């Protein structure tokens, strides 16, 4: 997807706040978004483990196992052995465990690279660490593609048939702002 020149010129500058620009770019992304296909893909655990060696910026032993353990906590198969209450501090309930942001991010980066190698270019030129974008690809024609990974667990609350219902707004805003403020 491409942003129109007038939007890039105006909202790609630092004049507008990230919040103001993010709202405008997000509207444009939603306006242009079209679902082109829908399919279920199965990846072998070995494939994910192999990707874990090359693509993530964080060192995680096995993101699949991490998320399987979190799923056991989420489903109730595992639980804390303590009551989760301490009235002197007004602690009246036990919150649920959350998924590891590192493991979720690692899986997102692995998937982003798998899909980009298949759909953008097989040539990973640079794996950028702790900066935008996550990957820079090149093709035989001398073109460069920037790929950024954003990942989360669960589903947003809304209907999941369009982009707005499938990807959380803050992820679209962050990616759109980074892309719009990118200069040559």
Q: SS3 sequence, 58-71?
A: CCCCCHHHHHHHHH
**Measured distance CA(75)–CA(117) in Å, rounded:** 34
**Measured distance CA(45)–CA(15) in Å, rounded:** 46
pLDDT confidence tier of residue 184, bands split at 50, 70 and 90: very low
What pTM did the predictor assign?
0.77
**Measured distance CA(51)–CA(164) in Å, rounded:** 28
Quick: pLDDT tens for 41-79: 899 989 999 999 999 999 999 999 999 999 999 898 998
Angle at 152 between CA 150 and CA 18, to 5 degrees: 50
Residue 104 has pLDDT above 80, yes or no: yes
Sequence ranges of the domains in the chain: 1-35+161-184, 41-154
Contact 182, 163 (CB under 8 A): no
Between 131 and 161, the more confident residue is 131
Quick: pLDDT tens for 81-100: 888 889 999 999 888 888 89
Residue 158 has pLDDT above 60, yes or no: no
**Measured distance CA(35)–CA(149) in Å, rounded:** 18
Q: Give residue 19's region: left, alpha or beta (phi > 0; psi -120 to 50).
A: alpha
Q: What is the pLDDT, as a whole number, of residue 110? A: 95
Q: Which of 110-124, 129-143, 164-178 has the lowest mean pLDDT?
A: 164-178
């Amino acid at each position: 997807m491409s942003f129109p020149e007038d939007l890039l010129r105006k909202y790609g500058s630092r004049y507008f706040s990230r919040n103001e620009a993010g709202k405008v770019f997000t509207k444009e992304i939603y306006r242009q978004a079209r679902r082109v296909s829908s399919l279920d893909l199965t990846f072998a655990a070995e494939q994910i483990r192999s990707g874990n060696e090359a693509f993530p910026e964080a060192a995680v032993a096995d993101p699949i196992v991490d998320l399987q353990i979190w799923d056991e906590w989420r489903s109730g198969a595992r639980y804390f052995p303590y009551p989760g209450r301490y009235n002197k501090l007004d602690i009246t309930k036990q919150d649920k465990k959350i998924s590891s942001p590192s493991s979720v991010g690692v899986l997102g980066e692995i998937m982003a690279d798998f899909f980009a190698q298949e759909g953008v270019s097989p040539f990973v030129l640079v794996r950028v660490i702790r900066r935008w974008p996550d990957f820079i690809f090149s093709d035989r024609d001398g073109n460069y593609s920037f790929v950024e990974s954003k990942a989360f667990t669960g589903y947003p609350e809304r209907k999941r048939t369009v982009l707005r219902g499938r990807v959380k707004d803050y992820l679209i805003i962050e990616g759109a702002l980074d892309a719009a403020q990118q200069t040559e």
